Amino acid sequence: MIIGCPINHIDHVAIAVKDIYTTLKVFNEVFGLSGPQVSHLPEHGVKAVLIQLGQTRIEILEPLDSANSVGRFIETKGEGLHHIALNVTNLQDKLDYLNDNGFDLIDIIPREGLSGNVAFIHPRSLFGVLTELVEN
């Protein structure tokens, strides 16, 4: 069996929140987890931080604008799990394979993200789960 998009490991899970600093305070007080400084990413419309947990991470996202994709997510679904990110090698090759096999891609070309080069697969192609592919 030929596998067209093998995954190395789960890179991170992302949680969309209304207030990143309150969330970080809770994660620190309850779980003893803290992350680096919060990054302001206006090109992505969010404040974000990655908290390292062994080989994987938790990404906390706060929208800068309620009208962007993360803001709309919170408005319609509430705070919570936003996406799962899977680490891959040769990201562009994976995107070409997925595109050629009928997957609905949000990004057909990788772009720079907080975790490295990233691209998103639309939830309608993966059972309702927004999925990010990451190459770092």
Q: Which two tokens stand for residue 78?
A: 């509430």
**Which ranges of the chain would DSSP assign to H, the alpha helix?**
20-31, 69-77, 91-100
The pTM of this model reads 0.92
In the chain, what is the straight-line distance between the N-terminal and C-terminal CA atoms, in Å?
A: 27
CB-CB contact of 65 with 45 (8 Å):
yes
> What is the predicted pLDDT for the residue at 1?
62
> What is the predicted pLDDT for the residue at 36?
85
pLDDT, tens digit, 9 for 90 and up, residues 15-56: 999 999 999 999 999 999 887 899 999 999 999 999 998 889
Domains of the chain as residue ranges with CATH: 9-135 (3.10.180.10)
